[in-house]
Amino acid sequence: MIEGLRKPVGFHQKSKVVVIGAGNVGEAIAYTLMVRMQANDIVLIDVNQQRAGAAALDIAHGTGFYRQVWVRTGDYDECKDAQLIIITAGLGRKPGQTRLELGQTNVAIARDIARKIMQYNDNPLILVVTNPADVVTAAVLEETGLRRGQVIGSGTSLDSARFRYFISEALHVDVEDISGYILGEHGDSQVPIWSAVNIAGIPLSVYEKQSGITLDRTHIAELTKTSGADIIKGKGATFYGVAMAVSNITERIMNDQQGVVPVAHLMGPQFGKWANVCFSMPCIVGSDGIERTIDIPLSDEEREALDKSVEIIGDMQQKLGIFTHLTTPLE
């Protein structure tokens, strides 16, 4: 153990989050959870123990400015009493590598992690961040055998935040007053749900007439879809935005807020042809995971686009051998 990671004097564990993967994303998530005071015991696990230890110590040095938080490293036995386990471990997409090739690598890594988690906790709540997020989430669910609501993918929560950001910039309105979703794949086939966008409860079309501002919907949708790649091109990786998105989901879980967030999960039988495919829809999320999926009203154009997105994800699941044995929708 790196010097300085011992349990603080007088420490009493009340809330514990385990982050598996101490790369840029995992470290940013651990730091954000500490700053936002969302757990008082944060454990980083990584095959590179030196990197995990250094990351934990760096974050721990800042706890004196907030409150008593134990930020440390550990092994998989730390999963046994965690309220939430966050998986970020995996490889980044290399130049020229397809999403399917990346999926083959990261699905294998995630399955191995899932087996290790289940050795110590037979009823965990798992949040998957590793890309390709949709199929990796499905693989973790299959490997663990947990109920659908216990394995959540960060999905399009970040994409939706980007969407709201670009709308707020165009309308000159505080982003907190913008409501809107990106649904489907966390990837190129993502679907902007323009029909659901509102500004402080006012439908977008009505607000545009009142303000005299007409949004370039095509441009904003493209910015939302490509901005992640632009960030990667400029600095090699995205991690602050996803850390905030994960923190937002974590807050709903740790505080049992029953908040509505767009997250990836395996769809149930009530969704017909979408059943057994893992993608993002708005969900009520609390301390037990996903409480309910909201079947949001869609325009004909949006439903057609979402059908195509679901087909793409379903095809990748099949090629990666995920849930191929199911003959009926998973309850």
Catalytic positions: 186
Q: Identify the CA nearest to 276 among candidates 150, 179, 148, 183.
A: 148
**Angstrom distance (rounded) from CA 224 to CA 169:** 12
Which 8-state DSSP code applies to residue 184? B
DSSP 177: G
Residue type present at position 26: G
Whether residue 66 contacts residue 34, with contact meaning beta carbons closer than 8 Å, is answered with yes
C-alpha pair distances (Å), 8 with each of 16, 35, 80: 15, 17, 21
Instruction: Please tell me the total number of residues recorded for the chain in this structure.
Output: 331
CA-based diameter of the chain, in Å? 61
Query: Do 131 and 161 touch, CB atoms closer than 8 A?
Result: no
Radius of gyration of the chain (CA): 20
Let me know: does 193 contact 183? Beta carbons within 8 Å. Answer: yes
- What single letter denotes the amino acid at residue 271? F
Under DSSP, the state recorded for 329 is: -
Cβ proximity of 274 and 159 under 8 Å: no
Cα 118 to Cα 140: distance, rounded to the nearest angstrom: 11
Bridge partners, 127 (sequence order): 86, 152
Which residues is 72 bridged to in the sheet? 43
